[in-house]
Structure 1
Amino acid sequence: MTKQDRAVRTRLALIRSAAEQFEARGYIRASLAEISAGAGVSSGALHFHFANKAAVAEAVERAAARALRRVAARGRGGDGCALQRLVDVTHHVARLLCADIVVRAGLRLNAEAVAGRVRDLRREWRECVHELLAEAERRGELAAGMPPHRSSAVVLAATTGIEVLAREDPGWLARPSLTDLWHLLLPCVAAPHLAGALDPAGTGPDHADPHADGEADVGREADTADGALEEPGRAGLALR
């Protein structure tokens, strides 16, 4: 293993350990000593990669943002019914949140603006939902009287509420919970001719890998730009 490979693996271990600490103890109570110990490295190794706790939190948030954007891109760039792709994206996001603590911690840090709100993941989710619903309107998939801005408000309120509730009870992210949600929403949002054609349980395998099709496990990929390590001790640049 090369020196750069070891540095990448150390950085990833620190990001995952930080996510575990932020998730269990919160940003304020989590300490750099606990983060380095959880990663199995010295405090000096941590400071080689991150200047302070805020920089570690920024790296966790950025890694989560990368994974979530991959999921959103699958829906935006897909073919077929836009409403079905929206349903599928919510299931993909839920599975990713269940499977990856870095994604969970990063989303929570972002919601609490711990890292200084370089990016706004909730805004990006709003844009993803609105874009898919605008496409659904162009395709004639929305019910009469449900323009994108109205249907977006309903979908966003429901999905954001589930994500918040899941912080205390992960069962809210289970497939049956989301399926029940879409059973209620689709008759209100979808055009009548789509009744029976949409699958509220999502159109993937029952136990689909949340990291499949390009949704890489953020705990296994380098938190880098174009594969190169960031300059040690600096917080990374925001994803644009």
Structure 2
Amino acid sequence: MVKQERAARTRESLVHAAAEVFAEEGFAAASIAEISQRAGVTSGALHFHFDGKTSLALAVEQRAERALRRAAAAEEERGSDGGPLRVLVGATYTMLALLAEDVAVRAAFALCADAARSSPVDLRGQWWMWAEELLVAAERAGLLAEGVSPQDATRLVVASTVGLEGLGGVEPGRSARQLLTRIWTVVLPGIASGEAAAAVLVEAIPGKETD
């Protein structure tokens, strides 16, 4: 039991260290030596637990995927009374917080955009599908603006939010949350009916940091 707990802690340290290095340097530039050093283990110990960078990257992505699923479930429960648009807007703030606070999520989004590798875990693709599901539900509920399809709305929302990890460094003096609020203030009235957009802007955004 003690050996199992020690092994689990070592794997945890390696995944966390790998996430830090991938987030800072990208997959191609990351080295096994640096990951091992940050985790406080030898390269031999790393190879005992992982085959190499590819398996470490996959472990980081899987951890991030679990974190996002937990966050999505919590957001759906929290925002269910406000409808699918409320859930969608709330989810973007939750994702922004995860990107700031969880290095595995931050690294995983960078990894899935890295042309140097391919992975079975596609967090950006999962975000697209979840956003589309919510917007299809919004259409069924009569919440989308006239002439706006869920697919068109998904393209706009994903294009507006897929770079969330970079928000905050774009406009000096503005936080990422402020910039996200500005995005929704512009985007939401374009995809939702007037009444639905107004309700979500009032319900979902107050309490979050604004200008």
Q: Deviations over 1:155-208 (max 9, x none)?
A: 111111444x4496598872111111110011111212224311378369659x
Instruction: Compare relative contact order (CA 8 Å, sep 6+) and give the higher one, 1 or 2.
Output: 1
Secondary structure of 1:198's aligned partner: helix
Partner Cα distance (2:100, 2:109) in 1: 12
Q: Percent identity?
A: 43
Residues 64 and 105, structure 2, Cα contact 8 Å, conserved in 1: yes
1:72–1:128 Cα contact (<8 Å) kept: no
CA contact (8 A) 1:98 1:170 kept: no
Cα separation, partners in 2 of 1:43 and 1:129, compared to 1, 3 Å: same
Contact 1:64 1:106 in 2 (8 A): yes
- With 87-96 and 13-22 compared, the bigger mean Cα shift is at 13-22
What secondary structure, in the 3-state scheme, does the structure 2 residue paired with 1:36 have?
A: helix
Quote the offset at 1:115 in angstroms.
Answer: 4.9
Q: 1:68: Cα distance to partner?
A: 1.7
Alignment partners' CA distance in 1, 2:107 and 2:59: 11
Aligned to 1:125: 127
Change (3 A) 1:32 1:13: same
Residue type matched to 2:57 in 1? A
2: CA distance between counterparts of 1:193 and 1:74? 26
Residue 44 of structure 1, CA deviation: 2.0
Offset of residue 24 of structure 1: 1.9
Amino acid at match of 1:40: G
Tell me the secondary structure at the aligned position of residue 176 of structure 1.
helix
List alignment gaps of at least 5 residues for structure 1: 208-240
In the alignment, structure 1 residue 146 sits paired with structure 2 residue 134: no
Change (3 A) 1:190 1:181: same
Using the alignment, how far apart are the partners of 2:101 and 2:203 within structure 1? 18
Is the CA contact 2:28–2:116 (under 8 Å) kept in the aligned structure 1?
Answer: no
Structure 2 gaps, min length 5: none
Q: Report whether the alignment pairs 1:17 with 2:17.
A: yes
Q: Give, in whole Å, the separation in 1 of the partners of 2:107 and 2:131.
A: 22
Query: Superposed, which structure 2 residues align to 1:67-82 within 5 Å?
Result: 67-76=67-76, 79-80=80-81, 81-82=83-84
- Measure how far apart 1:144 and its partner are: 0.9
Shift of 1:102: 1.2
**CA shift for structure 1 position 29:** 2.0
Deviation digits for residues 36-79 of structure 1, max 9, x if unmatched? 11011122221111011111111111111221222233445652
Deviations 1:22-45 (A, max 9, x none): 122222222111111101112222
Match of 1:49 in 2: 49
| Bigger proportion of residues as helix | 2
Match of 1:182 among 181, 184, 191: 184
Alignment of 1:214-229 (within 5 A): none
Q: Judging changes above 3 Å, is the alpha-carbon distance between structure 1 residues 147 and 79 closer, same or farther for their aligned structure 2 residues? A: same
TM-score after normalising by structure 1? 0.76
Aligned residues: 206
1:116 shift after superposition: 2.7
Residue 5 of structure 1: CA displacement? 1.4
Match of 2:108 in 1: 106
Cα distance in 2, alignment partners of residues 195 and 51 from structure 1 = 49
In 2, Cα distance between equivalents of 1:64 and 1:170: 27
